[in-house]
A and B are shown apart, each in its own frame.
Chain A
Amino acid sequence: MDQDRRAFLLGAGKMIALTGAAALAWEHVLAGTPEAAPNYVLTDHWWGMIIDIEKCIGCGNCVRACKVENDVPREPGCFRTWVERYQIDPADVEHPVVDSPDGAYDGFPEIEGPVDRLKIFFVPKLCNHCAHSPCVQVCPIGATFDGPDGVVLVDKQRCLGCRYCVQACPYGCRFIDPRTETAEKCTLCYHRITRGLTTACCETCPTGARQLVDLKDPKDPVHEFLRTHKVQVLKPQMATGSKTYYNGLDGAVR
Protein backbone atom coordinates (compact mmCIF):
# COMPACT_ATOMS: atom_id res chain seq x y z
CA MET A 1 0.00 0.00 0.00
CA ASP A 2 2.83 2.37 0.95
CA GLN A 3 4.60 1.53 -2.27
CA ASP A 4 1.47 2.32 -4.21
CA ARG A 5 1.09 5.65 -2.51
CA ARG A 6 4.73 6.52 -3.14
CA ALA A 7 4.43 5.53 -6.79
CA PHE A 8 1.25 7.54 -7.11
CA LEU A 9 2.75 10.65 -5.50
CA LEU A 10 5.89 10.38 -7.63
CA GLY A 11 3.80 10.04 -10.74
CA ALA A 12 1.53 12.91 -9.80
CA GLY A 13 4.56 15.07 -8.94
CA LYS A 14 6.11 14.38 -12.31
CA MET A 15 2.84 15.14 -14.04
CA ILE A 16 2.64 18.52 -12.35
CA ALA A 17 6.30 19.33 -12.82
CA LEU A 18 6.46 18.27 -16.42
CA THR A 19 3.31 19.11 -18.24
CA GLY A 20 2.77 19.17 -21.94
CA ALA A 21 5.80 19.65 -24.14
CA ALA A 22 8.17 19.44 -21.19
CA ALA A 23 6.96 15.93 -20.41
CA LEU A 24 7.62 14.91 -23.98
CA ALA A 25 11.08 16.42 -23.83
CA TRP A 26 11.73 14.61 -20.55
CA GLU A 27 10.85 11.29 -22.19
CA HIS A 28 13.48 12.09 -24.75
CA VAL A 29 16.07 13.04 -22.19
CA LEU A 30 15.47 9.67 -20.50
CA ALA A 31 15.96 7.94 -23.84
CA GLY A 32 19.38 9.57 -24.18
CA THR A 33 18.52 11.86 -27.08
CA PRO A 34 18.53 14.40 -28.63
CA GLU A 35 21.09 16.31 -26.62
CA ALA A 36 24.27 14.30 -26.78
CA ALA A 37 26.34 16.74 -24.74
CA PRO A 38 24.79 17.30 -21.34
CA ASN A 39 26.34 20.70 -20.82
CA TYR A 40 24.43 22.36 -23.65
CA VAL A 41 20.90 23.07 -22.50
CA LEU A 42 18.67 24.06 -25.40
CA THR A 43 16.38 26.22 -23.34
CA ASP A 44 19.20 28.23 -21.74
CA HIS A 45 20.00 30.07 -24.96
CA TRP A 46 18.38 32.46 -27.39
CA TRP A 47 20.90 33.17 -30.10
CA GLY A 48 21.14 36.25 -32.26
CA MET A 49 23.69 38.52 -33.84
CA ILE A 50 24.71 42.15 -33.71
CA ILE A 51 26.14 43.74 -36.84
CA ASP A 52 27.83 47.09 -36.51
CA ILE A 53 27.69 48.83 -39.91
CA GLU A 54 30.06 51.49 -38.61
CA LYS A 55 32.80 48.89 -38.21
CA CYS A 56 32.43 46.84 -41.40
CA ILE A 57 35.24 47.41 -43.91
CA GLY A 58 33.94 45.04 -46.58
CA CYS A 59 37.01 42.77 -46.55
CA GLY A 60 34.98 39.59 -47.09
CA ASN A 61 36.74 37.58 -44.37
CA CYS A 62 33.36 36.41 -43.05
CA VAL A 63 32.25 35.18 -46.46
CA ARG A 64 35.41 33.15 -46.99
CA ALA A 65 35.39 31.72 -43.47
CA CYS A 66 31.75 30.71 -43.78
CA LYS A 67 32.39 28.88 -47.03
CA VAL A 68 35.24 26.89 -45.47
CA GLU A 69 33.61 26.20 -42.13
CA ASN A 70 30.30 25.04 -43.50
CA ASP A 71 31.42 23.49 -46.79
CA VAL A 72 29.27 25.90 -48.81
CA PRO A 73 29.60 25.30 -52.57
CA ARG A 74 31.60 27.89 -54.52
CA GLU A 75 28.82 28.52 -56.98
CA PRO A 76 26.81 31.59 -57.91
CA GLY A 77 24.03 32.27 -55.43
CA CYS A 78 25.30 29.84 -52.80
CA PHE A 79 25.97 32.02 -49.79
CA ARG A 80 25.13 31.59 -46.15
CA THR A 81 26.52 35.04 -45.55
CA TRP A 82 27.51 37.77 -47.95
CA VAL A 83 28.32 41.48 -47.88
CA GLU A 84 26.52 44.16 -49.87
CA ARG A 85 27.84 47.60 -50.72
CA TYR A 86 25.32 50.43 -50.79
CA GLN A 87 25.91 53.65 -52.72
CA ILE A 88 23.29 56.25 -51.93
CA ASP A 89 23.02 59.46 -53.86
CA PRO A 90 21.43 62.10 -51.60
CA ALA A 91 19.52 63.39 -54.63
CA ASP A 92 17.88 59.99 -55.15
CA VAL A 93 17.74 58.15 -51.84
CA GLU A 94 14.95 55.87 -53.03
CA HIS A 95 17.21 54.15 -55.54
CA PRO A 96 20.46 53.11 -53.92
CA VAL A 97 23.00 51.27 -56.05
CA VAL A 98 23.77 47.92 -54.44
CA ASP A 99 26.48 45.52 -55.47
CA SER A 100 27.94 42.35 -54.02
CA PRO A 101 30.44 40.86 -56.48
CA ASP A 102 30.55 37.11 -55.79
CA GLY A 103 29.05 37.83 -52.38
CA ALA A 104 32.19 39.89 -51.57
CA TYR A 105 34.21 36.66 -51.47
CA ASP A 106 37.20 38.69 -52.66
CA GLY A 107 36.11 41.98 -51.14
CA PHE A 108 35.04 44.89 -53.33
CA PRO A 109 36.64 46.62 -56.30
CA GLU A 110 37.08 50.39 -56.19
CA ILE A 111 34.06 52.33 -57.37
CA GLU A 112 34.52 53.96 -60.74
CA GLY A 113 33.58 57.59 -61.03
CA PRO A 114 33.23 60.33 -58.45
CA VAL A 115 32.21 59.20 -54.98
CA ASP A 116 32.35 62.47 -53.06
CA ARG A 117 28.62 63.05 -52.88
CA LEU A 118 27.66 59.40 -52.30
CA LYS A 119 27.04 57.75 -48.97
CA ILE A 120 28.79 54.41 -49.20
CA PHE A 121 28.79 51.62 -46.65
CA PHE A 122 28.91 47.84 -46.34
CA VAL A 123 26.09 45.65 -45.05
CA PRO A 124 26.90 42.08 -44.05
CA LYS A 125 23.88 39.84 -44.52
CA LEU A 126 23.01 36.44 -43.13
CA CYS A 127 19.97 34.54 -41.92
CA ASN A 128 18.15 36.77 -39.45
CA HIS A 129 17.09 33.78 -37.34
CA CYS A 130 13.60 35.19 -37.03
CA ALA A 131 11.50 34.28 -34.03
CA HIS A 132 8.40 34.21 -36.29
CA SER A 133 10.08 33.07 -39.41
CA PRO A 134 8.17 33.00 -42.71
CA CYS A 135 10.34 30.18 -44.06
CA VAL A 136 9.38 27.91 -41.16
CA GLN A 137 5.72 28.73 -41.59
CA VAL A 138 5.62 27.65 -45.24
CA CYS A 139 7.53 24.37 -44.95
CA PRO A 140 4.91 21.67 -45.54
CA ILE A 141 6.76 18.85 -43.78
CA GLY A 142 8.57 20.44 -40.87
CA ALA A 143 11.97 20.17 -42.55
CA THR A 144 12.87 23.67 -41.45
CA PHE A 145 12.23 24.87 -37.97
CA ASP A 146 13.25 27.26 -35.24
CA GLY A 147 14.75 25.32 -32.38
CA PRO A 148 14.15 26.00 -28.68
CA ASP A 149 17.39 28.01 -28.68
CA GLY A 150 16.19 30.41 -31.37
CA VAL A 151 18.23 29.12 -34.32
CA VAL A 152 16.44 28.44 -37.61
CA LEU A 153 17.75 25.17 -39.03
CA VAL A 154 17.12 22.78 -41.91
CA ASP A 155 16.56 19.05 -41.50
CA LYS A 156 18.45 17.84 -44.56
CA GLN A 157 17.11 14.31 -44.16
CA ARG A 158 13.53 15.49 -44.49
CA CYS A 159 13.84 18.36 -46.94
CA LEU A 160 12.24 17.64 -50.30
CA GLY A 161 13.76 20.63 -52.06
CA CYS A 162 10.38 22.13 -52.90
CA ARG A 163 11.81 25.69 -52.62
CA TYR A 164 8.83 27.19 -50.77
CA CYS A 165 11.15 28.46 -48.04
CA VAL A 166 13.56 29.98 -50.57
CA GLN A 167 10.72 32.10 -51.87
CA ALA A 168 9.29 32.85 -48.46
CA CYS A 169 12.43 34.31 -46.91
CA PRO A 170 12.06 38.10 -47.16
CA TYR A 171 15.83 38.53 -46.82
CA GLY A 172 16.93 36.13 -49.57
CA CYS A 173 18.98 34.08 -47.14
CA ARG A 174 18.22 30.64 -48.51
CA PHE A 175 19.41 28.71 -51.52
CA ILE A 176 19.28 25.16 -52.83
CA ASP A 177 22.45 23.14 -52.41
CA PRO A 178 23.18 21.94 -55.95
CA ARG A 179 24.80 18.74 -54.61
CA THR A 180 21.90 17.53 -52.48
CA GLU A 181 18.98 19.52 -53.95
CA THR A 182 17.91 20.48 -50.43
CA ALA A 183 17.47 23.88 -48.82
CA GLU A 184 20.59 25.44 -47.33
CA LYS A 185 21.04 28.40 -45.04
CA CYS A 186 23.09 29.87 -42.23
CA THR A 187 22.92 27.64 -39.15
CA LEU A 188 24.58 30.31 -37.03
CA CYS A 189 27.39 27.71 -36.94
CA TYR A 190 25.19 25.52 -34.78
CA HIS A 191 28.00 22.97 -34.40
CA ARG A 192 30.21 25.72 -32.99
CA ILE A 193 27.89 27.68 -30.73
CA THR A 194 26.66 24.50 -29.04
CA ARG A 195 30.29 23.77 -28.16
CA GLY A 196 30.91 27.18 -26.65
CA LEU A 197 32.65 28.69 -29.68
CA THR A 198 31.57 31.71 -31.67
CA THR A 199 30.57 31.49 -35.33
CA ALA A 200 33.21 31.29 -38.05
CA CYS A 201 32.27 34.74 -39.39
CA CYS A 202 32.57 36.37 -35.97
CA GLU A 203 35.80 34.49 -35.30
CA THR A 204 37.47 35.90 -38.40
CA CYS A 205 35.94 39.38 -38.53
CA PRO A 206 38.98 41.66 -38.06
CA THR A 207 37.04 44.68 -36.81
CA GLY A 208 34.46 43.04 -34.57
CA ALA A 209 31.64 44.24 -36.80
CA ARG A 210 29.82 40.95 -36.17
CA GLN A 211 29.08 39.59 -32.75
CA LEU A 212 27.27 36.44 -31.82
CA VAL A 213 24.97 37.17 -28.89
CA ASP A 214 22.97 35.06 -26.48
CA LEU A 215 19.91 37.06 -25.52
CA LYS A 216 19.11 34.71 -22.63
CA ASP A 217 22.51 35.19 -21.01
CA PRO A 218 22.17 38.05 -18.52
CA LYS A 219 25.95 38.61 -18.63
CA ASP A 220 26.08 38.99 -22.40
CA PRO A 221 27.17 42.53 -23.40
CA VAL A 222 24.32 42.54 -25.92
CA HIS A 223 21.89 43.93 -23.36
CA GLU A 224 24.07 46.96 -22.73
CA PHE A 225 24.61 47.33 -26.48
CA LEU A 226 20.90 47.23 -27.31
CA ARG A 227 20.21 49.82 -24.63
CA THR A 228 22.87 52.29 -25.66
CA HIS A 229 22.77 51.98 -29.46
CA LYS A 230 20.15 52.70 -32.07
CA VAL A 231 19.76 49.24 -33.51
CA GLN A 232 17.35 48.20 -36.21
CA VAL A 233 16.32 44.98 -37.87
CA LEU A 234 15.75 44.51 -41.58
CA LYS A 235 12.18 44.90 -42.84
CA PRO A 236 10.62 45.50 -39.42
CA GLN A 237 7.24 45.99 -41.08
CA MET A 238 7.12 42.27 -41.81
CA ALA A 239 7.14 41.44 -38.08
CA THR A 240 9.47 38.50 -38.54
CA GLY A 241 10.97 38.87 -35.09
CA SER A 242 14.45 39.08 -36.60
CA LYS A 243 17.31 38.52 -34.17
CA THR A 244 20.01 40.04 -36.35
CA TYR A 245 20.36 43.59 -35.06
CA TYR A 246 22.07 46.25 -37.13
CA ASN A 247 23.73 49.25 -35.57
CA GLY A 248 23.99 52.38 -37.72
CA LEU A 249 21.76 51.00 -40.45
CA ASP A 250 20.67 53.39 -43.18
CA GLY A 251 16.95 53.41 -43.87
CA ALA A 252 17.60 52.62 -47.52
CA VAL A 253 18.81 49.09 -46.73
CA ARG A 254 16.35 46.36 -47.64
Chain B
Amino acid sequence: MSGRFKDYEHVLRMAALFVIGVVVFIAVRSWMVPDDFGVYGFFRAGALDDNRAHPLVYAGRAACVDCHSDLVEERKGSRHEAIGCEACHGPLARHASGEDDTKPVRPDARATCIRCHESKAGKPAGFPQVNAAEHAESGPCSECHNPHRPAVS
Protein backbone atom coordinates (compact mmCIF):
# COMPACT_ATOMS: atom_id res chain seq x y z
CA MET B 1 0.00 0.00 0.00
CA SER B 2 2.74 2.44 1.00
CA GLY B 3 4.45 1.90 -2.38
CA ARG B 4 1.34 2.95 -4.28
CA PHE B 5 0.99 6.08 -2.11
CA LYS B 6 4.53 7.11 -3.01
CA ASP B 7 3.80 6.79 -6.72
CA TYR B 8 0.78 9.06 -6.28
CA GLU B 9 2.98 11.63 -4.56
CA HIS B 10 5.31 11.76 -7.55
CA VAL B 11 2.43 12.70 -9.81
CA LEU B 12 1.29 15.37 -7.34
CA ARG B 13 4.74 16.93 -7.29
CA MET B 14 4.87 16.97 -11.07
CA ALA B 15 1.43 18.56 -11.23
CA ALA B 16 2.42 21.17 -8.63
CA LEU B 17 5.56 22.04 -10.60
CA PHE B 18 3.54 22.30 -13.78
CA VAL B 19 0.99 24.62 -12.15
CA ILE B 20 3.76 26.79 -10.70
CA GLY B 21 5.35 26.95 -14.15
CA VAL B 22 2.12 28.08 -15.75
CA VAL B 23 1.51 30.70 -13.05
CA VAL B 24 5.05 32.05 -13.39
CA PHE B 25 4.68 32.16 -17.18
CA ILE B 26 1.40 34.07 -16.96
CA ALA B 27 2.82 36.47 -14.37
CA VAL B 28 5.98 37.19 -16.35
CA ARG B 29 4.06 37.52 -19.58
CA SER B 30 1.56 40.01 -18.16
CA TRP B 31 4.45 41.97 -16.67
CA MET B 32 6.42 42.08 -19.91
CA VAL B 33 3.70 42.57 -22.53
CA PRO B 34 2.40 46.17 -22.61
CA ASP B 35 -1.29 46.63 -21.79
CA ASP B 36 -2.15 48.01 -25.20
CA PHE B 37 -0.41 45.23 -27.11
CA GLY B 38 -2.75 43.47 -29.49
CA VAL B 39 -5.51 46.07 -29.67
CA TYR B 40 -5.19 46.39 -33.46
CA GLY B 41 -2.87 43.50 -34.19
CA PHE B 42 0.47 42.06 -33.13
CA PHE B 43 1.87 45.41 -31.98
CA ARG B 44 1.57 48.03 -29.27
CA ALA B 45 -1.29 50.40 -30.08
CA GLY B 46 0.55 53.26 -28.36
CA ALA B 47 3.25 53.05 -31.03
CA LEU B 48 0.81 54.77 -33.42
CA ASP B 49 0.73 57.74 -31.05
CA ASP B 50 4.51 57.66 -30.65
CA ASN B 51 4.87 58.00 -34.40
CA ARG B 52 2.31 60.81 -34.46
CA ALA B 53 4.07 62.74 -31.73
CA HIS B 54 6.93 63.80 -34.02
CA PRO B 55 7.02 67.61 -34.40
CA LEU B 56 6.16 69.28 -37.69
CA VAL B 57 9.01 70.92 -39.58
CA TYR B 58 7.33 71.77 -42.88
CA ALA B 59 4.12 73.72 -42.39
CA GLY B 60 2.49 72.87 -45.71
CA ARG B 61 1.44 75.38 -48.34
CA ALA B 62 -2.03 75.83 -46.90
CA ALA B 63 -0.47 77.58 -43.91
CA CYS B 64 1.28 80.13 -46.15
CA VAL B 65 -1.73 81.39 -48.10
CA ASP B 66 -3.50 82.81 -45.05
CA CYS B 67 -0.98 85.65 -44.68
CA HIS B 68 0.77 85.78 -48.05
CA SER B 69 -2.23 86.20 -50.32
CA ASP B 70 -0.32 88.74 -52.43
CA LEU B 71 2.13 86.03 -53.46
CA VAL B 72 -0.68 83.60 -54.14
CA GLU B 73 -2.11 86.19 -56.49
CA GLU B 74 1.28 86.77 -58.12
CA ARG B 75 1.78 83.05 -58.74
CA LYS B 76 -1.68 82.49 -60.14
CA GLY B 77 -1.55 81.05 -63.66
CA SER B 78 2.24 80.84 -63.72
CA ARG B 79 4.16 77.64 -64.34
CA HIS B 80 5.40 77.72 -60.77
CA GLU B 81 1.94 77.94 -59.25
CA ALA B 82 1.74 74.32 -58.18
CA ILE B 83 5.10 74.30 -56.38
CA GLY B 84 4.94 74.33 -52.59
CA CYS B 85 6.38 77.50 -51.01
CA GLU B 86 8.71 75.48 -48.81
CA ALA B 87 10.26 73.72 -51.80
CA CYS B 88 12.41 76.85 -52.27
CA HIS B 89 11.98 78.78 -49.01
CA GLY B 90 12.85 75.93 -46.64
CA PRO B 91 10.92 74.35 -43.76
CA LEU B 92 8.72 76.93 -42.02
CA ALA B 93 6.47 75.29 -39.46
CA ARG B 94 8.03 77.44 -36.74
CA HIS B 95 7.51 80.57 -38.82
CA ALA B 96 3.88 79.66 -39.50
CA SER B 97 3.07 78.82 -35.89
CA GLY B 98 4.85 81.92 -34.61
CA GLU B 99 6.87 79.79 -32.23
CA ASP B 100 10.00 81.80 -32.88
CA ASP B 101 11.22 84.36 -35.40
CA THR B 102 12.34 81.86 -38.05
CA LYS B 103 12.31 83.64 -41.39
CA PRO B 104 11.83 82.05 -44.80
CA VAL B 105 15.06 81.38 -46.64
CA ARG B 106 15.68 83.77 -49.52
CA PRO B 107 16.95 81.21 -52.01
CA ASP B 108 20.10 81.75 -54.03
CA ALA B 109 18.61 83.10 -57.23
CA ARG B 110 20.97 81.07 -59.38
CA ALA B 111 21.86 77.85 -57.54
CA THR B 112 18.23 77.12 -56.60
CA CYS B 113 17.05 77.57 -60.18
CA ILE B 114 19.88 75.51 -61.62
CA ARG B 115 19.08 72.60 -59.33
CA CYS B 116 15.92 71.98 -61.33
CA HIS B 117 16.45 73.75 -64.63
CA GLU B 118 20.02 72.84 -65.59
CA SER B 119 19.85 70.73 -68.72
CA LYS B 120 20.72 67.15 -67.87
CA ALA B 121 20.36 63.75 -69.48
CA GLY B 122 17.38 61.88 -68.04
CA LYS B 123 15.11 64.82 -67.33
CA PRO B 124 11.70 64.51 -68.98
CA ALA B 125 11.72 66.02 -72.48
CA GLY B 126 8.94 68.50 -71.77
CA PHE B 127 10.60 69.94 -68.70
CA PRO B 128 12.02 73.46 -69.27
CA GLN B 129 15.80 73.16 -68.99
CA VAL B 130 18.73 75.26 -70.12
CA ASN B 131 22.49 75.06 -70.16
CA ALA B 132 22.96 77.75 -67.53
CA ALA B 133 26.46 78.72 -68.62
CA GLU B 134 25.29 79.33 -72.20
CA HIS B 135 21.90 80.76 -71.30
CA ALA B 136 23.26 83.41 -68.92
CA GLU B 137 26.91 83.29 -68.03
CA SER B 138 26.55 84.66 -64.54
CA GLY B 139 24.30 86.69 -62.31
CA PRO B 140 21.03 85.78 -60.69
CA CYS B 141 18.25 84.32 -62.84
CA SER B 142 15.87 86.72 -61.13
CA GLU B 143 17.30 89.55 -63.25
CA CYS B 144 15.05 88.39 -66.07
CA HIS B 145 12.72 85.81 -64.47
CA ASN B 146 10.49 86.50 -61.51
CA PRO B 147 10.75 83.21 -59.61
CA HIS B 148 7.07 83.42 -58.66
CA ARG B 149 6.12 84.05 -62.27
CA PRO B 150 9.03 82.82 -64.38
CA ALA B 151 7.74 83.53 -67.91
CA VAL B 152 9.51 86.56 -69.46
CA SER B 153 6.87 88.88 -70.79
Distance A212 CA – B53 CA, assembled complex (angstroms): 20
Q: How many A-B residue pairs have CB under 8 A?
A: 143
Contacts of B121 in A (CB 8 A): 110-111, 115, 118, 120
Q: With an 8 A cutoff between CB atoms, is A55 at the interface?
A: yes
Distance A248 CA – B14 CA, assembled complex (angstroms): 67
Distance A19 CA – B132 CA, assembled complex (angstroms): 65
SS of B interface (majority): loop
Do the beta carbons of B58 and A204 come within 8 Å of each other?
yes
Do the beta carbons of B124 and A145 come within 8 Å of each other?
no
Contacts of B39 in A (CB 8 A): 21, 24-25, 27-28, 34
- Which residues, 48 to 100 on B, are CB-close (under 8 Å) to A? 48-58, 60-62, 82-84, 86-87, 91
* Contact among B45, B47, B53, B123 with A28 in the assembled complex (CB-CB below 8 Å): B45
Q: Which residue of B lies closest to A191 (CB)?
A: B54
Do the beta carbons of B51 and A142 come within 8 Å of each other?
no
* Contact among B41, B46, B58 with A65 in the assembled complex (CB-CB below 8 Å): B58
Q: A69-B57, A190-B54, A191-B54 are in contact. Are A145 and B41 (CB under 8 A)?
A: yes
Do the beta carbons of B87 and A203 come within 8 Å of each other?
yes
- Which residues, 4 to 53 on B, are CB-close (under 8 Å) to A? 36-53
* Contact among A25, A54, A153 with B124 in the assembled complex (CB-CB below 8 Å): A54
Q: Which residue of B lies closest to A70 (CB)?
A: B54
Contacts of A206 in B (CB 8 A): 83-84, 87, 116
* Contact among A87, A143, A147, A208 with B40 in the assembled complex (CB-CB below 8 Å): A147
Contacts of A143 in B (CB 8 A): 43
Q: With an 8 A cutoff between CB atoms, is B135 at the interface?
A: no
* Contact among B50, B52, B62, B83 with A194 in the assembled complex (CB-CB below 8 Å): B52
Contacts of A147 in B (CB 8 A): 40, 48
Contacts of A42 in B (CB 8 A): 40, 48
Do the beta carbons of A108 and B122 come within 8 Å of each other?
yes
Distance A121 CA – B124 CA, assembled complex (angstroms): 8
* Contact among A36, A58, A145, A156 with B42 in the assembled complex (CB-CB below 8 Å): A145
Q: With an 8 A cutoff between CB atoms, is B115 at the interface?
A: yes
Do the beta carbons of A121 and B122 come within 8 Å of each other?
yes
Nearest Cβ distance between residue B100 and chain A, in whole angstroms?
A: 16
Distance A146 CA – B41 CA, assembled complex (angstroms): 9
Contacts of A204 in B (CB 8 A): 58, 84, 86-87
Nearest Cβ distance between residue B53 and chain A, in whole angstroms?
A: 7
Do the beta carbons of A153 and B54 come within 8 Å of each other?
no
Q: With an 8 A cutoff between CB atoms, is A246 at the interface?
A: no
Q: A145-B47, A158-B47, A203-B86 are in contact. Are A58 and B54 (CB under 8 A)?
A: no
Cβ proximity bits A178-197 to B, threshold 8 Å, 1 near / 0 not: 00000000010011101101
Do the beta carbons of B48 and A28 come within 8 Å of each other?
no
Q: Which residue of A lies closest to B37 (CB)?
A: A142
Q: With an 8 A cutoff between CB atoms, is A217 at the interface?
A: no
Do the beta carbons of B60 and A198 come within 8 Å of each other?
yes
Q: With an 8 A cutoff between CB atoms, is A85 at the interface?
A: yes
- Which residues, 125 to 157 on A, are CB-close (under 8 Å) to B? 142-148, 153-157
State the B residues within 8 Å of A (CB).
36-58, 60-62, 82-84, 86-87, 91, 115-116, 120-124, 127
State the A residues within 8 Å of B (CB).
21, 24-25, 27-28, 33-36, 42, 54-61, 65, 68-70, 85, 87, 107-108, 110-111, 115, 118, 120-122, 142-148, 153-158, 187, 190-192, 194-195, 197-198, 200, 203-208
7 closest Cβ pairs, A-B complex: A145-B43, A120-B122, A155-B47, A191-B54, A204-B87, A115-B121, A142-B42
